[in-house]
Copies of this chain bind each other. A is one copy, B any other.
Amino acid sequence: MGAPVTIALDAMGGDHGPSVVIPAASLALIRHPEMRFVLVGDVARIDAELKNDPQLANRSEIVHTDVAVAMDAKPSQALRRGRWKSSMWLALEAVRDGHADATVSAGNTGALMAMAKFCLKTIQGIDRPAIAAIWPTVEAECIVLDVGANVGADARQLVEFALMGAGMARALFNVEKPSVGLLNIGVEEVKGVDEIKKAAAALKESPLPLRYKGFVEGDDIGHGAADVIVTDGFTGNIALKTAEGTAKQIGEYLRAAMGRSVLSRLGAVLAQGAFRALKDKMDPRQLNGGIFLGLNGIVVKSHGGTDATGFASAIDLAYDMASNDVVKRLASDVGAFHAKLELEGAA
């Protein structure tokens, strides 16, 4: 990419609004000093924060609006009230109109997805957008999708998720043919996962730019079994939250165990560097951000309750996606895939 990456930030989204979003932009700017921002929201509140960082102020354009989407708004309601004028909408519009390369919002997921679909539209050839998460593994990281955009997915959608996940992995992990696994359960007698079986057959046969690795089970995800793990949004969301909950639970066990005797407390003091490394590794803020895939534009959803460190990770992710031109590459992959399908259908 020649031009510097510009990220549009929904400054009013999330539990804390500009007081988190603007300091997060400062953090991200340290890492990518050539970045530019479009900051959308209440100009007075944004300015109050920008005063602390003239460098950031220099590289930012402010788009004022006093409409913000409530964190508990229903998607249909948010769309009706917030379209054309809310900070969420205007940040998306900046991407649509080419003023920005990606949007980051910590607003309400449902509202953001509804507005993003309406504003940016789905990539031609993609049935439904998905939300992808970056999942830490013992090897490195993998991409899991869908983690909550849709309940259920048919075989075609699962194949599209595989294609989109692979495109994202190619851009972010720098692998030519990312490996893809389909999340399934290992119990032999079980029938009824017909859509997954059909998707498996399609992935096995079709000449996609990916290596299909077969079915994977829940414990394979963190083990690093594949670059991309494909599942429907219901299962993916529950798997993701279960993993987050388990990590938190073990953190509590660890704290309790280390405090139980003088010796163990002393050991904990000596090993505090190690614990810090472990804590960093398990810090959900390091991998904060659901990526909306399948739209004509990059949208990253940050956790609503995150702090500046977490929101800055979401900005980093948007930066990586934008500077690797993921949307253009995805659209071309999808186009090539559908062209091949048609050729095969015609043959």
Contact = CB atoms under 8 A, between A and B. Distances in A.
B218 A240 contact: yes
Contacts of A261: 273-274
Contact of A185 (B148, B220, B244): B148
Contacts of A218: 237-245
A257 B281 contact: yes
A223 interface: yes
Contacts of A187: 109-110, 148-149, 233, 237
A122 interface: no
B151 A191 contact: yes
Identical chains in the assembly: 2
Interface in A251-271: 252-254, 257-258, 260-261, 263-264, 266-271
Contacts of A281: 253, 257
Interface of A: 74-75, 108-111, 113-114, 136-138, 148-152, 183, 185-193, 217-223, 231, 233-235, 237-250, 252-254, 257-258, 260-261, 263-264, 266-275, 277-278, 281-282
28 contacts: A74-B188, A74-B189, A75-B188, A108-B188, A109-B189, A136-B249, A148-B190, A151-B191, A151-B193, A152-B192, A185-B234, A217-B241, A218-B241, A219-B244, A239-B239, A242-B242, A246-B247, A246-B250, A257-B277, A257-B278, A260-B274, A264-B274, A266-B267, A266-B271, A267-B268, A267-B270, A267-B272, A270-B270
A164 B113 CA distance: 38
Contacts of A114: 189
B150 A190 contact: yes
A286 to B, nearest CB: 13
Contacts of A111: 189
